[in-house]
Amino acid sequence: MAKNTADSGGIGKALKKYLITGILVWLPIAVTLWVITYIVSASDQLINLLPEHWQPMHLIGFNIPGLGVIVAVLVLFVTGLFGANVLGRRIIAAWDALLGRIPVVKSIYSSVKKVSESLLSDSRQSFKTPLLVNFPHPGVWSVAFVSGNVPEVLLDSLPLLAEDDEYLNVYVPTTPNPTGGYYITVKKSDTRALDMSVDDALKYIISLGMVGPDGHEQNEQQETLPLQQHGSH
DSSP class per residue in the chain: -HHHHHHHHHHHHHHHHHHHHHHHHHHHHHHHHHHHHHHHHHHHGGGGGS-GGGSHHHHTSS--TTHHHHHHHHHHHHHHHHHHSHHHHHHHHHHHHHHTTSTTHHHHHHHHHHHHHHHH--STTS--EEEEEE-SSTT-EEEEEEEEPPPHHHHTTSPP--TT--EEEEEEE-SS-TTSEEEEEEEGGGEEE-SS-HHHHHHHHHTTT-B-TTSSB--HHHHHHHHHHHHT-
Residue 222 has pLDDT above 50, yes or no: no
pLDDT digit string, tens, across residues 71-111: 888 888 888 888 888 888 888 888 888 888 888 888 888 87
pLDDT digit string, tens, across residues 151-173: 888 888 888 888 778 888 888 98
Measured torsion, CA atoms of residues 213, 214, 215, 216, in degrees rounded to the nearest 10: -110
Among 193, 196, 194, 218, residue whose Cα is nearest residue 207: 218
Cis peptide before 103 (omega within 30 of 0): no
Residue 208 has pLDDT above 70, yes or no: yes
CA 29/CA 27 separation, integer angstroms: 5
**What is the average pLDDT value for the chain, to the nearest integer?**
78
Report CA torsion sign: 224, 21, 174, 125: positive
Average pLDDT rounded to a whole number, residues 122-135 = 74
- Residue partners of 18: CB distance under 8 A and separation at least 6: none
What type of residue is 97? A
Is the pTM value of this prediction over 0.75? Answer: no
- Residue partners of 69: CB distance under 8 A and separation at least 6: 39, 40, 43, 44
